[in-house]
Amino acid sequence: MDRRSGETMRDEFPKATIEILAKRVGQRCSNPSCRKTTSGPHTDPSKAVVVGVAAHITAASPGGPRYDQSLASDERSSIDIGIWLCQTCSKLVDNDQARYPVEILRNWKERSEKSVVQEVESREGRAHRPGQEPAEGHSIRLSVDDWEVWRERGNRPGDRIIFISPWAAGSVRYSCVIRLRNDSEWEEQLHRLRVEFRRGQEVVLSDEYAFGDREVVLPPRKWVALDLGHGLHEETVFTSSDSVWFKAETVGDNAKFTWRLADLTTP
């Protein structure tokens, strides 16, 4: 982003800042529609190939994309102005500034970092069976967008429109978009999907009805979006839990995966 050569007075990122930007998002592109891995092995065993860019949310020099003249030189080279993208997305956002304003890029950065925190905190990436070592041959990643919790309004006296819903007034509802990526070279299929409410390691409730009998097919090396919208009639489940988790098993060998969806201790 704004990587044109030959310009003067460019406020470039220090090497240390570039490395931190990449690590904070797990070396993956921050565009939620991309999430491409940006580093890998070189044919030389002592080297790595990097196809990521420490991009400027606001340009490093006058005339560049989204340039902010109110910023001082040290602010333009600070980590707050940086976002890690693959080379393709870096060019994309600079070639269409109206479509990708500062607010969008800051949102990408925040969502990507939150997603990586959830992956680091969960047991994601390897399947586990009770009493066994992690199962080989499976590699599935997860990110979560738009987690939301609200109380069902219900129908009220005087309403002109009456809604028919299985959820009574006061029921606690929750929703999010779960994005799953299969990093293996073959198709994976998940079943036995459920949502767990936990306090520490204790399972307060394992909700098997959140997905019903739904199964999910994961093509090789692609992201799949899964809309989750459910709720609970008993508010005490939420008040006694500190986290929400998503569990699934692979069809065939029933290798188990567990990912954190949300932290209920933060507002």
Strands 48-50 and 202-207: unpaired
Q: Could you report the per-residue pLDDT of 52-62, keeping only the tens digit for each?
A: 999 989 877 78
- Kindly indicate the confidence band of residue 226, based on its pLDDT and cuts at 50, 70 and 90: very high
Please say if the pLDDT value at position 101 is more than 80. Answer: yes
Q: Could you report the per-residue pLDDT of 19-42, keeping only the tens digit for each?
A: 999 999 999 999 877 888 899 899
Please say if the pLDDT value at position 73 is more than 90. Answer: no
Please say if the pLDDT value at position 259 is more than 60. Answer: yes
Q: Could you report the per-residue pLDDT of 102-141, keeping only the tens digit for each?
A: 899 998 898 888 878 867 765 444 333 333 333 445 788 8
Evaluate whether 97 touches 66 at the Cβ level (below 8 Å): yes
Residue 194 has φ and ψ, to the nearest 5°, of -155, 165
pLDDT the model gives residue 165? 58
Q: Report the C-alpha gap between 192 and 243 in whole angstroms.
A: 20
Decide which of 3.40.50, 1.10.287, 2.60.40, 1.20.1740 is the CATH code for 140-263: 2.60.40
Residue 51 has what DSSP assignment?
-
* Three-state DSSP state, 40: strand
pLDDT the model gives residue 3? 44
**According to CATH, where is 2.60.40 located in the chain?**
140-263
Tokens representing 245 are 């988790």
pLDDT the model gives residue 159? 56
What are the beta bridge partners of residue 176? 228
pLDDT the model gives residue 241? 92
Which residues does 223 contact at the CB level (< 8 Å), separation at least 6?
Answer: 35, 179, 180, 181
Mean pLDDT of the chain: 82
Q: Could you report the per-residue pLDDT of 139-165, keeping only the tens digit for each?
A: 888 899 888 988 876 556 665 665 555
User: What ranges make up the beta strands (E) of 109-215?
Assistant: 140-151, 172-182, 188-199, 202-207
DSSP-assigned letters across all residues of 205-240: EEETTTTTT--EEE-TT-EEEEEEEEEES-THHHHT
Q: Report the C-alpha gap between 208 and 29 in whole angstroms.
A: 33
Which pTM value belongs to this model?
0.49
Alpha-helical runs (H) found in 25-101:
73-76, 87-95
Strands 188-199 and 52-56: unpaired
